[in-house]
Amino acid sequence: MAKLQTLAGEWFEPDLPGRLLKIAGDIREAGGRAFLVGGWVRDALLGKTCRDYDVEVYDMSQDALVPILSKYGRTNLVGKAFGVIHLAMKGLSLDFSFPRTESKVGYGHRGFVVHTDEKLSFKEAALRRDFTINAMGMELPELTLCDPYGGIDDLKAHVLRHVGPAFAEDSLRILRGVQFASRFGCTLAPGTVELCRTLSLDDLSVERLFEEFKKWLLKPGKPSLGLRAFLDIKLDEYFPEIHPFEGSWEMLGGILDRMEELRRGLSAEGVELTEAQSMEFAFAALLCGNPSTSLQFLERITNETHLLKVVPMLLESFCGLSTSIADDIPSLRRLAVRLGGLKLLCLLVKCAPGQYFGDTSDGESFADRLWHVAVEYNLLESAPQPYLTGKMLMDLGVTPGKQMGEIIKKSFELQLDGEIKNADEALAWAKVAISTGTFR
């Protein structure tokens, strides 16, 4: 199995399917050359396993490649305009493409004319890539590095530098720079910053914008570096709804980094976030500088209804907190009912700078106190549910309708206040309330 030396100087054996190496050998025997390109190369140099195999084939026509691939599985020309052949095998699928150039001829990300050319050099084909760290290739099967634009030096220096003028033809690359800065601990090269500032995001769909924000906030990395790139490009002028926290961008960056640390560490504490909750937590952290504009921002980038509903409500609750609420169990119960549980709110409080809330009356940090109380009263994962149910009332002879709703509502209020502590007490209260009419 082929090995390579990582940037840290260690020898790394990447996860390479044996069938891919055999295919590469057949391609070479037939006079062609096969390169792994893009993110696989970047990740391998960082010592990371990547199973997204993007293979470019040089010095070979499509008609010559298909018979080779057909020996290993079923082939399908999935993108004739882009020269992409999909190979489906048992337990593995691979995409093979040909070197190509792209020309911008229209508006939006579909406004390109693509020309495949098997005789292009790797350097010529790599000109269409976005950043130098993504413009490297490794020739199979030996994994010989081809790096025409200094990507390995930029990766070592933690710099994101655009490859060439073609960068400007897809404005999504502006936001891609933001999420790459976070994921790979990079800063943008000055020339790349200047180029990004000349581009507009107006031609991008909601879906494409949302995907890049999700990658910035949800993929492992250091989100504060993404925020730095965001500000360097002056994207805060395009997205004015994103504000600094308490007037400080540095504080907001710290909140984002703490959000990332908490998400990664929750499993060790036996706490899990669903995919939806992870998104809600991440976008709440990004938008905590000005909750009043959070809905306006989200409506610009997504149609995800859970985000549009939960994030503004979560931020409103966050801004309304005072340290005294940690000892006000009825208020906490009502807050849990409103939010469907206090987990996300507790996590957001943990992200805030220590001085923002301060300590509780007994000297414990407010974040820790709030978490402990939420766990103690079973408010972390879900909201309290009414002890008194419609079935219980029907057994007492109450017919479904307005009266039943009023009885359940009053009982639940007493439950939240701590005056009713279990179903038996709720039922006993209901019997008295019905006989005396005191539920109104």
What is the C-alpha to C-alpha distance for residues 8 and 269, in angstroms, rounded to an integer? Answer: 31
Answer left, alpha or beta for residue 420, where phi above 0 means left and psi between -120 and 50 means alpha: beta
Report whether CATH 3.30.460.10 matches the domain 4-156: yes
Count, residues in the chain: 440
Closest by CA position to 260, among listed 240, 241, 286, 239: 286
pLDDT at 271: 83
pLDDT of residue 1: 65
Q: How far apart are CA 371 and CA 380, in angstroms?
A: 8
Say how far apart CA 404 and CA 398 lie, in whole Å.
7
Mean pLDDT per block of 10 residues along the chain (440 residues) reads: 85 90 96 94 92 92 92 82 82 87 54 70 93 96 95 97 94 96 97 97 94 97 98 97 96 97 83 94 97 96 96 96 91 97 96 82 82 95 94 91 92 95 94 81
Contact of 84 with 78, CB cutoff 8 Å? yes
Residue 352 burial (10 A CB sphere; 0-12, 13-18, 19+):
buried
Domain boundaries, the chain: 4-156, 171-317, 321-376, 390-436
Contact 152/41 with Cβ under 8 angstroms? Answer: no
Q: Rounded to the nearest 5 degrees, what angle is found at the Cα of 181, between the Cα atoms of 351 and 214?
A: 60
Q: How far apart are CA 334 and CA 39, in angstroms?
A: 47
Looking at residue 100, its pLDDT comes to: 78
Half-sphere exposure of 307 toward its Cβ, with a 13 Å CA cutoff?
25
Residues 144-180 as b/e (b if ≥16 CB within 10 A, e otherwise) read ebbbbbbbbebbeeebbbbbeebbebbbbbbbbbbbb
Residue linked to tokens 């250091």:
222
Pairing of strands 112-116, 137-139: unpaired
DSSP 28-72: HHTT-EEEEETHHHHHHHTT------EEEEES--HHHHHHHHHTT
Report the pLDDT value the prediction gives residue 364, as an integer from 0 to 100: 81
Judge whether 379 and 336 are in contact, CB under 8 Å: yes
Residues 251, 299: Cα–Cα separation, whole Å: 25
Q: What are the Cα distances from residue 330, in Å, to 157, 377, 417, 420?
A: 54, 11, 5, 12
- 3-state class (DSSP) for residue 359: strand
Q: How, if at all, do strands 159-160 and 187-188 pair?
A: parallel
Local structure of 340: helix, strand or coil: coil
Is residue 436 a contact partner of residue 401, using CB atoms and an 8 Å limit? Answer: no
Region label for 360, one of left (φ > 0), alpha (ψ between -120 and 50) or beta (otherwise): beta
* Single-letter residue type at 4: L
Provide the token pair at 305. 């209804």
**pTM (whole model) above 0.85:** yes
The angle subtended at Cα 107 by Cα 102 and Cα 109, nearest 5°, is 55
Token pair in block for residue 338: 């409103």
**Could you tell me which of 176, 131, 137, 129 has the C-alpha nearest to residue 155?**
131
- The CA distances from residue 389 to 123, 224, 337, 419, in Å, are 71, 48, 17, 17
